[in-house]
């Protein structure tokens, strides 16, 4: 079916979704990272960006929050840019674990594989893949430059969050060394873990995340800067990873009910991609039991349902002025 939308309709749907989700309560801030436990639970933002750079922003969309697991998306893209989509498939994998984001059991169950760059194990492995190997500062620069290209503006390290995570990331330390044991770490394990922890501690805004989402939806071209950030062949690969594991063990439920591939982080951020149509981001700190933001989920789902859109619907969607 052909679906013709106007920008006014999209703006109105986003406003309605924001208003609705503002009334949704429940969930709790992530408690296992001290910094996140203390963030104001009432913050809430929703941002939509179209492929022509048109932006719709509601609420706290310029507040810098911890990007956390959403950082797994840009670094998976960077590993695909520097190596290849096939290389990421062979070195890390592209399978859902069906288990929590920090599961050690998943590594053992999946024949010693990190499964996907979008869970902790695979993300630490992806950090180890980044070039130039053995040079922490140069690798860090590559990771941050890539996020800057995807967002059209730079993220900022939240030092307090980085310290907070570094002092408490015992489970991730175990993952890094277990992966080393199974030859799934392609650089120094401690350096790879530190880069992963640092990238999770980057502060990002809802507006920036919506630009990153729109860059993926626009097959690698940043709608704000016009820069081609990655080859268009990477776009369906990263969107597939997001669709299969973006919401951890509740990913199937999410895609079934919302229709949009999306990646969440325990900082409360959600990044959603409807290929060729738009990028969307939402942010609110309280999380459900799987670690996904309650309000952000409500907002994105409502937006999709109002517009009657869905990745699997098979519709041809056009947006007019
Ligand atoms: N830095 C967090 C961790 O490694 C990220 C988890 C997430 O956002 O899912 O536990």
Provide the residue-wise pLDDT of the chain in tens; the chain has 321 residues.
Answer: 899 999 999 999 999 999 999 999 999 999 989 999 999 999 999 999 999 999 999 999 999 999 999 999 999 999 999 999 999 999 999 998 888 888 888 888 877 788 899 999 999 999 999 999 999 999 999 999 999 999 999 999 999 999 999 999 999 999 999 999 999 999 999 999 999 999 999 999 999 999 999 999 999 999 999 999 999 999 999 999 999 999 988 999 999 999 999 999 999 999 999 999 999 999 999 999 989 999 999 999 999 999 999 999 999 999 999
122 CA → ligand 1 middle, Å: 12
Q: Whose CA is nearest to atom 4 of ligand 1?
A: 120
CB 121 within 8 A of CB 106: yes
Query: Given the DSSP bridges, would you call strands 55-59 and 156-157 parallel, antiparallel or unpaired?
Result: unpaired
Count Cα atoms within 13 angstroms, Cβ side, for 140: 17
| End-to-end Cα distance, the chain | 20
93 CA → ligand 1 middle, Å: 19
The finding on whether 125 has its CB within 6 A of some atom of ligand 1 is no
Euclidean distance between CA atoms 81 and 100, whole angstroms:
27
196 CA → ligand 1 middle, Å: 9
**Bond before 132 cis per omega within 30 degrees:** yes
Atom of ligand 1 nearest to the CA of 197: 1
The finding on whether 101 has its CB within 6 A of some atom of ligand 1 is yes
Strand order in the sheet with 45-49: 55-59, 45-49, 278-283, 269-274, 262-264
CB burial of residue 20 (10 Å; 0-12, 13-18, 19+): middle
Euclidean distance between CA atoms 153 and 230, whole angstroms:
16
29 CA → ligand 1 middle, Å: 13
Euclidean distance between CA atoms 246 and 73, whole angstroms:
9
272 CA → ligand 1 middle, Å: 18
The finding on whether 103 has its CB within 6 A of some atom of ligand 1 is no
- Give the residue from 245, 215, 220 showing the smallest Cα distance to 231: 220
CB 263 within 8 A of CB 73: yes
Map residue 105 onto helix, strand or coil: helix
Place of tokens 């349902």: 305
C-alpha distances in Å from residue 245, one per residue of 34, 104, 126, 173? 26, 16, 16, 22
106 CA → ligand 1 middle, Å: 16
Atom of ligand 1 nearest to the CA of 266: 8
Locate 224 and state its tokens. Answer: 């704000």
Q: Which secondary-structure segment (H or E) carries 124? A: helix 120-129
């Amino acid at each position: 079916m052909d679906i013709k939308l106007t920008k006014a309709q999209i703006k109105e749907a986003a406003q309605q979704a924001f208003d609705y989700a503002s009334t949704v309560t429940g969930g709790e801030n992530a408690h296992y990272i001290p910094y996140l436990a203390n963030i104001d639970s009432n913050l809430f933002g929703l941002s939509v960006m179209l492929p022509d750079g048109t932006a719709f922003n509601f609420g706290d969309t310029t507040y810098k929050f911890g990007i956390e697991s959403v950082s797994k998306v840009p670094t998976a893209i960077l590993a695909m840019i520097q190596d290849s989509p096939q290389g990421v498939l062979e070195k890390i994998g592209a399978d859902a674990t069906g288990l929590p984001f920090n599961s050690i059991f998943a590594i053992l169950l999946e024949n010693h594989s990190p499964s996907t760059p979008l869970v902790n194990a695979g993300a630490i492995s992806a950090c180890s893949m980044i070039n130039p190997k053995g040079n922490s500062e140069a690798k860090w620069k590559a990771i941050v430059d890539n996020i800057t290209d995807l967002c059209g503006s730079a993220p900022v390290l939240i030092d307090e969050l980085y310290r907070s995570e570094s002092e408490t990331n015992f489970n991730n330390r175990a993952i890094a060394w277990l992966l080393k044991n199974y030859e799934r770490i392609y650089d120094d394990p401690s350096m790879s873990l530190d880069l992963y922890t640092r990238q999770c501690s980057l502060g990002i805004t809802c507006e920036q995340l919506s630009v990153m989402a729109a860059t993926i939806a626009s097959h690698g071209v940043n709608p704000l800067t016009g820069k081609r950030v990655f080859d268009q062949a990477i776009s369906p690969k990263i969107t597939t990873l997001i669709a299969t594991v973006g919401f951890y063990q509740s990913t199937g439920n999410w895609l079934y009910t919302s229709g949009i591939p999306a990646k969440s982080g325990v900082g409360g951020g959600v990044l959603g991609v409807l290929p060729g149509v738009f990028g969307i981001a939402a942010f609110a700190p309280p999380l459900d039991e799987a670690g996904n933001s309650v309000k952000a989920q409500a907002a994105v789902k409502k937006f999709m349902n109002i517009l009657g859109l869905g990745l699997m619907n098979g519709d041809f969607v056009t947006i007019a002025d």
